[in-house]
Every structure is written in structure tokens, then in C-alpha cells.
A and B are shown apart, each in its own frame.
Chain A
Amino acid sequence: MKTEKEIWVNEALQSVEGLQPARPQTDLAQLAWNRIQQVSRPLPFAWTLAIAASFALLVTFNWVALNQTQERSLAQAQQMDAEAGYSPASLTYRY
């Protein structure tokens, strides 16, 4: 014979079986579809233009900065050569 406790435990376990399905309180389809649309919507033209312009500026500034560094290094090297009395001719071997 089942004890009172066993009967109670069995009843408790059965209380979650065969539940009435609950309904969501929001329009899931609409909300989810809106989110899908938001993510897949293309960027506005102005945004695309701004991003392209920023990238172009970045490339230009980098190029200018790199050129200036190279020119400065070359000038510095020539100046050091001149101070040391070297010339391109003095650096070649003669037999």
C-alpha cells in the first residue's frame, strides 16, 4: 500500500503533466520579423558615403605621413654623409 507521502509525491509530479498551453503576451511573429528586417536593412546612402570618405581620408593621411618620414630620413642620411666627407664615389672600390 502506498504511503501518504508517496501519494503526495505522485500527485505533485502529475501536476505538471498535460498543462494548458500558455500564450505569449506579445505578437512574437511581428516582433521577430521587425528584428530580422532591422538587421538585414542596408545602410542608408549617407552612412555609406561617410564611411567611404573616412576610409579615403585615413589612407591619404597615412600616405602623406609615410612620404614625409621617408624624405626626412633620406635628407638626414645625405647630411650625415656630407658632414663625414663621404661621397658616393668614395664608397666604390678601385682596383
Chain B
Amino acid sequence: MKLQLTEDEIREGLKKGSETAFRELVRRFESGVYNAALSIVQNREDAEDVAQEVFIEAYRSVAAFRGDASLRTWLYRIAVNRSLDLLRHRKRAKRGAPTRSLNDDSGPGPILDVPHFDHPGVQLERQEQARLVFAAIDQLPERQKAAFVLLRVEGLSQKEAAQALEISEGALESLISRAQLSLRRMLEEYYDAHYRRKPNAGSSNPQTS
């Protein structure tokens, strides 16, 4: 008995409604799809919902898949779109929520003041920094966010990331460099606000301050 289906076999199986092909598709790509969604939506339950939606959409629209990209990049494309849809939905829901009082004396502060997301794949000793970077990623414009997550966090090749985002490699490079500039600026602001050595202050080590 053959153990692994090829991509073509999975595709043909899905077109025929085969459960085996569907399970193989999920088994092979769930980690990538789930992790990409997790880095964008930054919530485990939401990422699981998005991943489910991605595979359901893939099953339904496999007939329209032309095969000009690999199944992997096609699934990443759906995952990015679904994740961004969810973020837009969240933003709309937030707009309807009560806003902060103008007299709130806590002020807006640096935008990374309330990092909230712990990625389960981060090494323990780097968790604090990773939390800040994810909070900064959350502030990026949609396309920069997707590009940074696919290329830097998920480790896709430049070609794969460009295909997943349906842009040229040049456009991807431009998105990444803008994303990195913004992230650096946000992190520097955070450093200045929290760790900068004050005159006659104690430790200069940001980790211990």
C-alpha cells in the first residue's frame, strides 16, 4: 500500500470528495497553516478556527485551483486572507465598542505597552522580547504584516512568500524592508521608554531593569 499521496493525487482526491485525500491535505499542511494564522491573529482559538476555514475553503474550491503554485503556497494564501479578514472583523467590532475616556490619564503611551500574545513556539528565555515583537507586528499595515510573518516568522522562501501574497519578489522585498523599519522604530521607542539608562540609575541591563 502506498503511504504518501502526491500533491496531484491529493488534488484529484479532493475533487472527487475523498476523505482520505482531505485528511492527508490537513495532516501535511496543518502546521504551516495554523502557525501562519497564529502569528497573524495572535490567538490560539481564532487560529484554529481560521485553519479549519482554510481547509474547508480548499476542499470547496479545489476545482478552481489552477496549479500554477504549489498546494502549500495556495493554502498559505488562503490562510493569510482568512486571517486578515478576521482582523478586519475584529477591528469593526472594536469600533462599535465604547471608546476610552479623553480624560483617561494613562494616556496612549508607547504602542507596545500591553503586549498580550505568547507564541507557544518561542523559547522561554526569549518570551518577553517575542511578546513585544508580536505586539509590534500587530501594529503593522496588513500586507507588511503578512509579508513579515510568512518570510521571517514562518521561514518561507522569498519565492514562496511572494507567490502566497500574489506579488512580485521585488514588491515583497519592499514590504519587508518597510515592515522591518517600522518594527525597529517601535521597538526603539519601547526601549527608550522602558530601559534607557537614566542619570544615576542602577543597572544598564535592559533584561534586569
Residues of A near any B CB (own CB < 8 A): 4-5, 8-9, 11-13, 15-26, 28-29, 31-33, 35-36
Contacts and interface: CB of A to CB of B under 8 A. Distances in A.
A36 B44 CA distance: 22
Given A32-B52, A35-B56, A36-B56, A21 B132 contact: no
26 contacts: A9-B191, A12-B130, A15-B123, A15-B129, A16-B39, A16-B130, A16-B137, A16-B153, A17-B153, A19-B121, A19-B122, A20-B121, A21-B32, A21-B35, A22-B35, A22-B44, A22-B121, A23-B34, A24-B47, A25-B44, A28-B51, A29-B27, A29-B30, A32-B26, A33-B22, A36-B22
A29 B206 CA distance: 44
Q: Which 8 A-B pairs have the closest CB atoms?
A: A19-B121, A20-B121, A29-B26, A15-B126, A12-B129, A15-B130, A15-B129, A22-B120
B58 to A, nearest CB: 9
Interface of chain B, main secondary structure? helix
B166 interface: no
B187 A28 contact: no
B133 A13 contact: yes
Given A16-B134, A29-B22, A24 B34 contact: yes
B196 to A, nearest CB: 8
Contact of A5 (B48, B119, B183, B188): B188
B157 interface: no
Given A28-B30, A28-B55, A17 B155 contact: yes
A25 B184 contact: no
- Interface size of B as a range: 35 or more
A22 B32 CA distance: 9
Interface string B178-190: 0010011001100
B59 interface: yes
Given A23-B31, A25-B44, A8 B183 contact: no
